[in-house]
Structure 1
Amino acid sequence: MTKNFPFYIKAPIVLLGIVITVFILSVLRDILVPLAFAALIAILLNPLTNRLQRKMPKVLAILLSMVIAIIVLLALMYFLSSQIAHFFDNLDAMKQKFTELLHTLQQWLEHTFGITNKKQVEMLNDAANSSKAMIGQTLSGILGVLSVVFLIPVYTFLILLYKTLILNFLYEVFSEENQQKVGEILSETKAAIQSYIIGLLIETSIVAVMNSCALLILGVQNAILIGVIGAILNLLPYIGGIIAIALPVLMATLTSDGYTTQLLIVAAYALIQFIDNNILVPRIVSSKVQINALISIVIVLLGAALWGIPGMFLSIPFIAVLKIIFDRIEGLKPWGKLLGDTVPTEHMGQLKRLRRRKTVSTKKL
């Protein structure tokens, strides 16, 4: 016989569980962050590994797929580094223009809002310290530095190598009557993450090309570098898009006179965002799990607070996996609906009132 506890007993237990989970995630950040990235990469490389495994031993197939991924990543890093080298060509002129604009902005803030220069410097220092804290949180400790060059490749290789062992454990840890649901959850999770990541890579490439072409046409310096960075920032829902627009606007402000170019940049990026949100994302990303805007923004901010910059990128795949699990468990389906972007036309209270009216009218007849 199952005993149902009242809400005032269940709520503190749930909150205590959340607090303990968040504490563990924070303490074990240096271990779990590379492990989470490795799991995503392993899921992404799994189809290529399976195809190569038909022609060669498993270990060689895994190593070859990882080598291909590393070559692609190094090519991207080389491209970005070559563009960054051009960024420093006019650095002195941009510094001088930035100093002039900063002085003008300080005077405007003092005359308009009464904020003294000393107070403005304190506010900038506080903002810089918070940014340093986030970056320091990302690269804290020896494990944080080694994760990119050592832990992530090792974790990826081992996850692919012991994939069957991990899957068998997940099946056997649950009772037989739940094994079908476990299989469905694992299958949907793998498909959703694969389609999500591959779709995002294609979408990011297209957005990078559109950003770069728009900035080149408008004559913005370092157009390709800023366009690619903007496309990468676009991976962060809503927040990244705002930063992506701010970068070329700032560059145009530092390298040209007037405000015509800045307005054209905003218009061009608004058009690109419209194409991205209404054409590219629905047709290319084609993720089986759609998360609504409110949850996306909140979960990205929570990920940043918990794990820094990596947490921002890991938050959306994590919440997508949670939604798949919630949708498959009867008691958690309302939470799955809350995370999704399907908005009902009427709320449950209205539906219940309509049903009561129909029941009453039927009884009278």
Structure 2
Amino acid sequence: MIKSYPFYVKAPIILLGIVILVFMLSVLQDVLVPLAFACLIGILLNPLTNFFQRKLPKVVSIFLSMLIALCGLILLIYFLSSQISHFFENLDGMKTKLQELVHHIQGWLQQQFGISTKKQAQMVNEAANSSKGMIGQTLTGFMGVLSVVFLIPVYVFLMLFYKTLILNFLYEVFSEENQKKVGEILGETKTAIQSYIVGLLIETCIVAVLNSAALLILGVENAILIGVIGAILNLLPYIGGIVAIALPILMVTLTKDGFTTQLLIIGAYAIIQFIDNNILVPRIVSSKVEINALISIVIVLLGAALWGISGMFLSIPFIAVLKIIFDRIDGLKPWGKLLGDTVPTQHMGQLKRFRKKKAVATS
């Protein structure tokens, strides 16, 4: 007989478990962040590795898959670096315009809200230090460089090499009656992550082309660089889109007079966002797991607080995997519904009252 504990006993235990889990995730960040990225990359490269493995040895197939991925990354870095070098050509003029803009904003804030220039500088410094802290969680330090250069490729290779061993462990660790359910969860997780990542890559390329074309037509300097960065930022739900619009507006403000172009940029990006949200995401990303907007925003912010920029990118695939697991376990199905994007027309209380009234009317 299974003993059921009251809520006031279970709640503190669950909260304590969550606190311990979050603490361990924070302490082991340098190990877990590259491991999480390696899992996503390994799942993405798995079909390519299986394709090569039909005619080539396993080790050679894994190396070929990783080499193709590395070549694509090098091409992207080369493209961005060439665009960044063009950005610095007009840097002096933008610095002068930026100083004038900051001076006008400081004067306006002091006149309208009574915030002194010294107080404004203090607020800016605090915000900058906070941003540096978040970026520093991801990009600075020896372990950060080591994870990108060494740990992630090694993790990816070993995961692909020991894929069968890991899968057998996951099957054997559960009882035989649950192995079918485990297989369904693993299969759906692999399919969901693969379709999610591949769809995002295609969506990002299309949005980058649309952004760059719109900015080129409007005569924005460094249009291609800003368009590509905006498309990459678009990977972050809701938050990235706001930053992506702010970048070209700031660039135009620093290089042109007036506000007509800024308004046109907002209009163009609004159209692109409409196309992205209503055409590209439903048809191209086509993920089997839909996460609602509220959970997406909260989980991205929690990921940023825990693991910085890396956490923001990892949060959505992580919550998608959780939803697949929740949907397959009877006791956790309500949590899966909470994460999902399906909104019921009536809540349970209304349904119960409706059924009660119907039963009374028929009797």
**TM over 0.5, yes or no?**
yes
- Alpha-carbon deviations, 1:303-340, whole Å to 9, x = none? 00000000000000000000000000000000000000
The amino acid that maps onto 2:193 is I
Aligned to 1:324: 324
Structure 1: which 5+ runs fail to align? none
- Alpha-carbon deviations, 1:144-185, whole Å to 9, x = none? 221001000000000000000000000000001111110000
Structure 2: which 5+ runs fail to align? none
In 2, distance between residues paired with 1:61 and 1:153? 14
Native 8 Å contact 1:304 1:312 kept in 2: yes
Aligned to 1:115: 115
Native 8 Å contact 1:30 1:141 kept in 2: no
In 2, distance between residues paired with 1:299 and 1:159? 26
Native 8 Å contact 1:30 1:140 kept in 2: no
In 2, distance between residues paired with 1:88 and 1:349? 61
Given the superposition, is the C-alpha separation of residues 305 and 43 from structure 1 closer, same or farther in structure 2, using an over 3 Å criterion? same
Aligned to 1:299: 299
Native 8 Å contact 1:221 1:251 kept in 2: yes
In 2, distance between residues paired with 1:98 and 1:340? 44
CA drift of 1:357 comes to 2.2
Task: Percent identity, please.
Answer: 79
The amino acid that maps onto 1:345 is T
CA drift of 1:288 comes to 0.2
| Alignment partner of 1:26 is 2:26 | yes
Name whichever of 223-232 and 353-362 sits farther off.
353-362
SS of residue in 2 equivalent to 1:290 = coil
Aligned to 1:351: 351
Matches within 5 A, 1:226-265: 226-265=226-265
In 2, distance between residues paired with 1:50 and 1:325? 25
| Alignment partner of 1:315 is 2:315 | yes
CA drift of 1:140 comes to 4.9
Aligned to 1:143: 143
Aligned to 1:269: 269
When normalised by structure 2's length, the TM-score is 0.99
- Alpha-carbon deviations, 1:112-142, whole Å to 9, x = none? 0000000000000000100111111113542
In 2, distance between residues paired with 1:214 and 1:68? 31
In 2, distance between residues paired with 1:210 and 1:35? 33
In 1, distance between residues paired with 2:16 and 2:140? 27
CA drift of 1:354 comes to 1.5
Native 8 Å contact 1:109 1:115 kept in 2: yes
- Alpha-carbon deviations, 1:251-271, whole Å to 9, x = none? 000000000000000000000
In 2, distance between residues paired with 1:172 and 1:155? 23
Native 8 Å contact 1:215 1:223 kept in 2: yes
Given the superposition, is the C-alpha separation of residues 234 and 170 from structure 1 closer, same or farther in structure 2, using an over 3 Å criterion? same
The amino acid that maps onto 1:98 is L
Aligned to 2:93: 93
Aligned to 2:73: 73
In 2, distance between residues paired with 1:140 and 1:209? 31
Aligned to 1:37: 37
Aligned to 1:173: 173
The amino acid that maps onto 2:215 is L
Aligned to 2:191: 191
In 1, distance between residues paired with 2:276 and 2:354? 41
Native 8 Å contact 1:97 1:255 kept in 2: yes
SS of residue in 1 equivalent to 2:345 = coil
Aligned to 1:55: 55
In 2, distance between residues paired with 1:211 and 1:243? 13
In 1, distance between residues paired with 2:361 and 2:182? 45
In 2, distance between residues paired with 1:3 and 1:286? 43
In 1, distance between residues paired with 2:70 and 2:329? 38
In 1, distance between residues paired with 2:3 and 2:153? 47
Aligned to 2:205: 205
SS of residue in 1 equivalent to 2:41 = helix
In 1, distance between residues paired with 2:115 and 2:166? 59
SS of residue in 1 equivalent to 2:215 = helix
In 2, distance between residues paired with 1:316 and 1:211? 24
CA drift of 1:353 comes to 1.1
State the aligned residue count: 363
